[in-house]
Amino acid sequence: MEFFNVMLKLWNQYWKLFLEGLGMTLFMGLLTVMLSTIFGSIMALMRRSRWGIGKFRPLNAIAAVYVEVIRGTPILLQLYFFYFMLPQWLPFLALTEFQCVLIACCVNSTAYVCEIVRAGIQAVDMGQTEAARSLGLNSRQTMIHIVLPQAVKNILPALCNEFVAIVKETSLASTFFVGELMTQFKTIQGITYRVLEPLTIVGLIYFLVTFVLSKLIALLERRMNASER
Protein backbone atom coordinates (compact mmCIF):
# COMPACT_ATOMS: atom_id res chain seq x y z
CA MET A 1 0.00 0.00 0.00
CA GLU A 2 2.89 2.26 0.85
CA PHE A 3 4.06 1.90 -2.77
CA PHE A 4 0.79 3.11 -4.27
CA ASN A 5 0.50 5.95 -1.79
CA VAL A 6 3.91 7.22 -2.80
CA MET A 7 3.00 6.87 -6.45
CA LEU A 8 -0.18 8.86 -5.96
CA LYS A 9 1.69 11.52 -4.07
CA LEU A 10 4.31 11.78 -6.73
CA TRP A 11 1.68 12.05 -9.43
CA ASN A 12 -0.18 14.78 -7.59
CA GLN A 13 3.00 16.70 -7.07
CA TYR A 14 4.73 16.20 -10.40
CA TRP A 15 1.98 15.40 -12.92
CA LYS A 16 2.95 18.47 -14.87
CA LEU A 17 6.50 17.20 -15.35
CA PHE A 18 5.25 13.77 -16.44
CA LEU A 19 2.87 15.26 -18.96
CA GLU A 20 5.49 17.65 -20.24
CA GLY A 21 7.75 14.67 -20.74
CA LEU A 22 5.01 12.79 -22.55
CA GLY A 23 4.39 15.79 -24.78
CA MET A 24 8.06 15.94 -25.64
CA THR A 25 8.18 12.20 -26.32
CA LEU A 26 5.20 12.37 -28.68
CA PHE A 27 6.58 15.50 -30.34
CA MET A 28 9.91 13.80 -30.97
CA GLY A 29 8.22 10.64 -32.18
CA LEU A 30 5.93 12.47 -34.57
CA LEU A 31 8.68 14.68 -35.96
CA THR A 32 10.95 11.67 -36.41
CA VAL A 33 8.31 9.64 -38.22
CA MET A 34 7.35 12.51 -40.48
CA LEU A 35 10.92 13.33 -41.46
CA SER A 36 11.99 9.72 -41.82
CA THR A 37 8.92 8.98 -43.96
CA ILE A 38 10.15 11.55 -46.45
CA PHE A 39 13.78 10.46 -46.36
CA GLY A 40 12.92 6.78 -46.08
CA SER A 41 10.73 6.96 -49.19
CA ILE A 42 13.51 8.64 -51.13
CA MET A 43 15.89 5.99 -49.84
CA ALA A 44 13.48 3.23 -50.91
CA LEU A 45 13.29 4.67 -54.42
CA MET A 46 17.10 4.78 -54.49
CA ARG A 47 17.12 1.17 -53.36
CA ARG A 48 14.89 0.25 -56.30
CA SER A 49 16.62 2.39 -58.90
CA ARG A 50 18.19 0.60 -61.82
CA TRP A 51 20.23 3.56 -62.93
CA GLY A 52 23.92 2.74 -63.09
CA ILE A 53 27.03 2.03 -65.00
CA GLY A 54 27.12 -1.56 -66.16
CA LYS A 55 26.27 -3.74 -63.21
CA PHE A 56 27.17 -1.10 -60.63
CA ARG A 57 24.17 0.85 -59.41
CA PRO A 58 25.48 3.64 -57.17
CA LEU A 59 22.14 4.90 -55.78
CA ASN A 60 21.11 1.39 -54.90
CA ALA A 61 24.50 0.67 -53.32
CA ILE A 62 24.48 3.82 -51.16
CA ALA A 63 20.99 3.05 -49.87
CA ALA A 64 21.82 -0.60 -49.24
CA VAL A 65 24.97 0.22 -47.25
CA TYR A 66 23.12 2.90 -45.28
CA VAL A 67 20.33 0.53 -44.30
CA GLU A 68 22.72 -2.26 -43.33
CA VAL A 69 24.98 -0.01 -41.23
CA ILE A 70 22.14 1.66 -39.38
CA ARG A 71 20.32 -1.59 -38.71
CA GLY A 72 23.54 -3.27 -37.71
CA THR A 73 24.49 -0.82 -34.96
CA PRO A 74 22.67 -0.02 -31.70
CA ILE A 75 20.56 3.12 -31.61
CA LEU A 76 22.23 4.21 -28.37
CA LEU A 77 25.58 4.20 -30.14
CA GLN A 78 24.09 6.24 -32.97
CA LEU A 79 22.75 8.75 -30.46
CA TYR A 80 26.18 9.16 -28.89
CA PHE A 81 27.78 9.39 -32.29
CA PHE A 82 25.58 12.20 -33.57
CA TYR A 83 25.48 13.95 -30.22
CA PHE A 84 29.25 14.35 -30.20
CA MET A 85 29.99 14.29 -33.92
CA LEU A 86 27.58 16.91 -35.23
CA PRO A 87 28.68 19.89 -33.07
CA GLN A 88 32.30 18.98 -33.69
CA TRP A 89 32.12 18.49 -37.45
CA LEU A 90 29.47 21.08 -38.25
CA PRO A 91 30.00 23.76 -35.59
CA PHE A 92 28.59 26.53 -37.79
CA LEU A 93 25.12 24.96 -37.52
CA ALA A 94 25.19 25.54 -33.75
CA LEU A 95 22.87 22.62 -33.17
CA THR A 96 21.18 22.25 -29.81
CA GLU A 97 21.33 18.97 -27.91
CA PHE A 98 17.72 18.31 -28.80
CA GLN A 99 18.39 18.83 -32.49
CA CYS A 100 21.36 16.47 -32.42
CA VAL A 101 19.29 13.77 -30.76
CA LEU A 102 16.41 14.34 -33.19
CA ILE A 103 18.75 14.00 -36.15
CA ALA A 104 20.09 10.76 -34.73
CA CYS A 105 16.56 9.41 -34.33
CA CYS A 106 15.71 10.40 -37.91
CA VAL A 107 18.85 8.82 -39.29
CA ASN A 108 17.99 5.62 -37.46
CA SER A 109 14.33 5.58 -38.39
CA THR A 110 14.98 6.43 -42.04
CA ALA A 111 16.67 3.05 -42.48
CA TYR A 112 13.67 1.21 -41.08
CA VAL A 113 11.15 3.28 -43.04
CA CYS A 114 13.15 2.60 -46.19
CA GLU A 115 12.64 -1.10 -45.66
CA ILE A 116 8.96 -0.61 -44.83
CA VAL A 117 8.35 1.32 -48.05
CA ARG A 118 10.41 -1.11 -50.10
CA ALA A 119 8.58 -4.11 -48.70
CA GLY A 120 5.24 -2.35 -49.20
CA ILE A 121 5.98 -1.78 -52.87
CA GLN A 122 7.35 -5.27 -53.35
CA ALA A 123 4.25 -6.82 -51.80
CA VAL A 124 2.08 -5.49 -54.62
CA ASP A 125 1.47 -8.36 -57.01
CA MET A 126 3.86 -8.29 -59.96
CA GLY A 127 0.86 -8.98 -62.22
CA GLN A 128 -0.46 -5.48 -61.53
CA THR A 129 2.71 -3.99 -62.94
CA GLU A 130 2.71 -6.35 -65.91
CA ALA A 131 -0.89 -5.50 -66.75
CA ALA A 132 -0.19 -1.77 -66.62
CA ARG A 133 2.97 -2.10 -68.71
CA SER A 134 1.16 -4.29 -71.25
CA LEU A 135 -1.33 -1.45 -71.81
CA GLY A 136 1.53 0.86 -72.70
CA LEU A 137 1.98 2.74 -69.41
CA ASN A 138 5.61 3.57 -68.67
CA SER A 139 7.21 2.59 -65.39
CA ARG A 140 6.55 5.96 -63.77
CA GLN A 141 2.87 5.98 -64.71
CA THR A 142 2.58 2.41 -63.47
CA MET A 143 4.19 3.36 -60.15
CA ILE A 144 2.00 6.43 -59.60
CA HIS A 145 -1.38 5.10 -60.73
CA ILE A 146 -1.23 1.39 -59.90
CA VAL A 147 1.57 0.30 -57.57
CA LEU A 148 1.86 3.14 -55.04
CA PRO A 149 -1.88 3.41 -54.27
CA GLN A 150 -1.85 -0.30 -53.46
CA ALA A 151 1.48 -0.13 -51.62
CA VAL A 152 0.18 2.60 -49.32
CA LYS A 153 -2.20 0.07 -47.80
CA ASN A 154 0.76 -2.05 -46.80
CA ILE A 155 2.95 0.87 -45.79
CA LEU A 156 0.61 2.95 -43.63
CA PRO A 157 -0.01 0.43 -40.82
CA ALA A 158 3.69 -0.45 -40.75
CA LEU A 159 4.58 3.22 -40.48
CA CYS A 160 2.26 3.58 -37.51
CA ASN A 161 3.96 0.63 -35.90
CA GLU A 162 7.29 2.35 -36.53
CA PHE A 163 5.88 5.40 -34.72
CA VAL A 164 5.04 3.23 -31.71
CA ALA A 165 8.56 1.82 -31.77
CA ILE A 166 10.09 5.29 -31.96
CA VAL A 167 7.97 6.55 -29.07
CA LYS A 168 9.65 3.88 -26.97
CA GLU A 169 13.10 4.39 -28.43
CA THR A 170 13.12 8.11 -27.65
CA SER A 171 13.56 7.04 -24.04
CA LEU A 172 17.20 6.47 -24.91
CA ALA A 173 17.48 10.20 -25.59
CA SER A 174 17.16 10.70 -21.83
CA THR A 175 20.87 9.90 -21.76
CA PHE A 176 21.30 13.51 -22.85
CA PHE A 177 18.49 15.01 -20.75
CA VAL A 178 16.45 16.38 -23.64
CA GLY A 179 13.25 16.60 -21.61
CA GLU A 180 11.22 13.63 -22.82
CA LEU A 181 9.39 11.25 -20.52
CA MET A 182 12.39 9.23 -19.37
CA THR A 183 14.33 12.41 -18.59
CA GLN A 184 11.50 13.48 -16.31
CA PHE A 185 11.83 10.21 -14.47
CA LYS A 186 15.48 11.00 -13.83
CA THR A 187 14.62 14.51 -12.72
CA ILE A 188 12.00 13.33 -10.26
CA GLN A 189 14.27 10.59 -9.06
CA GLY A 190 16.91 13.24 -8.35
CA ILE A 191 14.49 15.38 -6.36
CA THR A 192 12.76 12.66 -4.34
CA TYR A 193 15.37 9.86 -4.14
CA ARG A 194 12.58 7.48 -5.18
CA VAL A 195 13.17 5.06 -8.05
CA LEU A 196 10.47 2.43 -8.41
CA GLU A 197 7.44 4.65 -7.97
CA PRO A 198 8.24 7.29 -10.62
CA LEU A 199 9.55 4.53 -12.90
CA THR A 200 6.24 2.70 -12.61
CA ILE A 201 4.32 5.86 -13.42
CA VAL A 202 6.48 6.48 -16.49
CA GLY A 203 6.07 2.85 -17.51
CA LEU A 204 2.30 3.11 -17.21
CA ILE A 205 2.26 6.23 -19.35
CA TYR A 206 4.37 4.58 -22.05
CA PHE A 207 2.17 1.51 -21.97
CA LEU A 208 -1.09 3.43 -22.15
CA VAL A 209 0.07 5.52 -25.07
CA THR A 210 1.45 2.63 -27.11
CA PHE A 211 -1.54 0.43 -26.28
CA VAL A 212 -4.01 3.03 -27.48
CA LEU A 213 -1.93 3.68 -30.59
CA SER A 214 -1.77 -0.03 -31.42
CA LYS A 215 -5.53 -0.33 -31.11
CA LEU A 216 -5.98 2.69 -33.38
CA ILE A 217 -3.67 1.12 -35.94
CA ALA A 218 -5.66 -2.10 -35.89
CA LEU A 219 -8.79 -0.04 -36.50
CA LEU A 220 -7.12 1.81 -39.35
CA GLU A 221 -6.08 -1.46 -40.93
CA ARG A 222 -9.59 -2.84 -40.77
CA ARG A 223 -10.98 0.38 -42.22
CA MET A 224 -8.57 0.25 -45.13
CA ASN A 225 -9.39 -3.33 -45.93
CA ALA A 226 -13.05 -2.42 -46.01
CA SER A 227 -12.51 0.68 -48.14
CA GLU A 228 -12.65 -1.21 -51.40
CA ARG A 229 -16.16 -2.29 -50.50
Partner 1 sequence: MQVSVDKELIRVVDLHKSFGDLHVLQGVTEQISKGEVVSVIGPSGGGKSTFLRCLNLLETPSSGHIYFEGTDITDKKVDINVHRQKMGMVFQHFNVFNNLTVGKNITLAPVLLGKKTQAEADDMAKELLERVGLSDKIDQYPKKLSGGQKQRLAIVRALAMEPDVMLFDEPTSALDPEMVGEVLLVIKDLVKTGLTTVIVTHEMGFAKEVSNRVFFMDGGVIAEKGSPDEVFNHPQNPRTREFLSKVLY
Interaction site with partner 1 (CB under 8 A): 125, 127-128, 130-138, 141, 145-146, 149-150, 228-229
Residue (of 207, 156, 174) closest to 75 by Cα position: 174
d(CA 139, CA 136): 9
Cβ of residue 141: shortest distance to partner 1, in angstroms? 6
Cβ of residue 52: shortest distance to partner 1, in angstroms? 16
d(CA 202, CA 215): 20
Cβ of residue 67: shortest distance to partner 1, in angstroms? 27
Closer of 71 and 145 to partner 1 (Cβ): 145
Closer of 133 and 186 to partner 1 (Cβ): 133
d(CA 25, CA 36): 16
Closer of 73 and 122 to partner 1 (Cβ): 122
Closer of 88 and 134 to partner 1 (Cβ): 134
Closer of 9 and 145 to partner 1 (Cβ): 145
Residue (of 23, 75, 58) closest to 209 by Cα position: 23
Helices and strands per DSSP (H, E), number in the chain: 9, 0
Cβ of residue 153: shortest distance to partner 1, in angstroms? 8
Q: Are 32 and 106 in contact (CB under 8 A)?
A: yes
Cβ of residue 55: shortest distance to partner 1, in angstroms? 16
